[in-house]
A = this chain, B = another copy of it.
Amino acid sequence: MKDTALVDSLLAVMEDSPAPIYQRVKGAISTKVASQEWLPHQRVPSEAELVKALGVSRMTVNRALRELTAEGVLERQQGVGTFVAPQKVHSALFEVHNIADDISARGNKHHAQVLRLDSGQATTDEAMQLGVRTGNAVFRSLLVHFENDKPVQMEERVVNAVIAPEYAEQDFTTITPYAYLNQAAPISEGEHLVEAVTPTRWEAQALGLSDAAACLQIRRRTWSGDNIVTSARLLSPGHVLQLFGHFQR
Contact = CB atoms under 8 A, between A and B. Distances in A.
Interface string A175-212: 00000001000111111111111100000000000000
A13 interface: no
Nearest to A71: B70
A190 B245 contact: yes
A215 B197 CA distance: 7
Given A34-B186, A101-B89, A245 B193 contact: no
Interface of A: 34, 70, 89-98, 101, 182, 186-198, 213-217, 237-247, 249
Give the residue among A97, A186, A189, A245 with the most B Cβ atoms within 10 A. Answer: A245
Contact of A243 (B186, B191, B246): B191
Number of copies: 2
A246 B190 CA distance: 6
Contact of A91 (B94, B188, B197): B94
Nearest to A95: B91
A187 B91 CA distance: 11
A215 B237 CA distance: 13
A111 B90 CA distance: 21
A196 B193 contact: no
Contacts of A245: 94, 189-192
Contacts of A198: 213-214
Top 9 closest pairs, chain A to chain B, by CB: A214-B214, A196-B196, A192-B243, A196-B214, A194-B241, A196-B216, A195-B240, A189-B246, A91-B95
B241 A195 contact: yes
Contacts of A244: 189-192
